[in-house]
Structure 1
Amino acid sequence: MKSLTLLIFCCMMTASLSAGIPDSSDPKSESPSDDGVFVKQEEASTLVRQKRAGVAAADLSLTQLESLREVCEANLACEHMMDTSGIIAAYTVYYGPIPY
């Protein structure tokens, strides 16, 4: 009797969970997106970050990058820019050229 009750409960749970999910075989359930996934090349080139001239992160050792990061963490604005633009860009803006 307990197993029958458990089976009925599981069937009801399955039915209630699947009721909210649209059927993937129904073509009307898919809503077409006007924006799409692809963008024009001009838009993409402005969105993609260009390679910066100057010191590249590959030129610095992990110890040097960590010391720059520690200096930049003392300044809240530099730390925010470090999170968004990278450590080299943030350090250069707030503290000038990299000393090594």
Structure 2
Amino acid sequence: MKTFTILILCAFAYVCLCEGAVDSPATKSDSHGDQGVFVKKDLASIIMRQKRAAPADPTNLSVAQLESLREVCEADLGCEHMMDVSGIIAAYTAYYGPIPY
């Protein structure tokens, strides 16, 4: 069994080495340039640009964000009463100002 495993690994190494010889830099098209695995910092920042958070819009709050507002508002009895009457967004805005996210 060990001999068979070694034979398979040698065959795999041989195939990898042969593929490397066929795809040598002299035969490759220059579509990727000389970058290889690494890219320049500015190119990477353009490629990997993350979506930024949208401005605070009370209608687009997630359930977790609403729950955190509710927990803050429950600490104040006036805010908690207004939350029951007018809603969490109106109560939080009235007592604590604009929503932070």
- Coarse TM-score class (shorter-chain normalised): 0.3 to 0.5
Choose between structure 1 and 2 for higher RCO, CA contacts under 8 A separated by at least 6 residues.
2
- The TM-score normalised by the length of structure 1 is 0.44
The structure with the largest alpha-carbon Rg is 2
How high is the TM-score relative to the length of structure 2? 0.43
